[in-house]
Amino acid sequence: MSQSSGTNLEPNVAGALSYLFGWITGLIFFLLEKDDDFVRFHAMQSIIVFGAWTVLQILFYIFWLVPYLGVILSWLWWVVAIVLVIILVIKAYQGERFKLPVIGDLAEKWSQ
């Protein structure tokens, strides 16, 4: 694989790292990488997925006012997020342009 122009990392490594700390690392890699479509796609998918995840997590905290409901939703949401991060990091590291339903299409469109 060739080195990515904006990050000086292999594209599969940069793509995987885009998911590591959610939308924050997605945004960093999206801003750093101007040429590599693979990295930009994974960075944008990270921004969309984990940006929405952050908003929903805030809503779950609001539901904490209802006994147990917010706590249960929040813990389930964290488990889903951790599993999703692991899957996305592995797929990107393997060099796969793994697209999540709906979000993947948006990421592909907005990363151009």
Domain chopping of the chain, boundaries: 11-110
Cβ-Cβ contacts under 8 Å for 94 (sequence gap 6 or more): 12
Computed over every residue of the chain, the mean pLDDT equals 89
Kindly tell me if the per-residue pLDDT of 81 is higher than 70. yes
Amino acid 79 reads V
Residue in 9, 18, 6, 4 with CA at minimum distance from that of residue 88: 18
Determine the straight-line distance between the first and last CA of the chain, rounded to whole angstroms: 21
Structure confidence by residue, pLDDT tens digits, 45-64: 999 999 999 998 787 777 66
Is pLDDT larger for residue 102 or for residue 68?
102
pTM: 0.85
Residue in 89, 97, 88, 95 with CA at minimum distance from that of residue 1: 95
